[in-house]
Amino acid sequence: MIRKRVIARGEVQGVGFRYHARAQAQQLGLGGYARNRPDGSVELEIEGREASVLGMLHWLRTGPRYAVVTALEVSDIAATGESDFQITD
């Protein structure tokens, strides 16, 4: 299992980004969370099998229909064993 912290920048708030990310993460069997940040970005942590995490990173590069992702900052962090994906504030 691996875990990544991701900061998605661009038009990513007010377009359902977190909710679509949760649906995608659940479909891929990933744990973690998504939350809006005060600077207009969305922070996510995603954990699971490497292939699923890579699939999620691929999806995050474009996000849902009305999002415009201009940058993704991705860093490796320690896995926690989390298996549920939440939207937090």
Q: Kindly compute the dihedral angle of the four CA atoms of residues 69, 41, 8, 64, in this order, to the nearest 10 degrees.
A: -50
Q: Does the pLDDT of residue 61 top 90, yes or no?
A: yes
User: Is 5 a catalytic site residue?
Assistant: no
Which 3 state secondary structure label does DSSP give 5? strand
Q: What are the chain's domains?
A: 9-79 (3.30.70.100)
Among the listed residues 18, 22, 49, 65, the single catalytic one is: 18
pTM score: 0.94
Among the listed residues 36, 37, 61, 65, the single catalytic one is: 36
d(CA 33, CA 66): 21
List the structure tokens of 49: 């099998």
Q: Quick one: pLDDT at residue 89?
A: 79
Mean pLDDT of the chain: 97
Q: Nearest Cα to 87, choosing from 45, 51, 53?
A: 45
User: Is 18 a catalytic site residue?
Assistant: yes
Query: 78 or 89, which is more confident?
Result: 78
Taking only the tens place, the pLDDT of each residue in 48-59 is: 999 999 999 999
Non-local (6+) Cβ contacts of 27 within 8 A are none
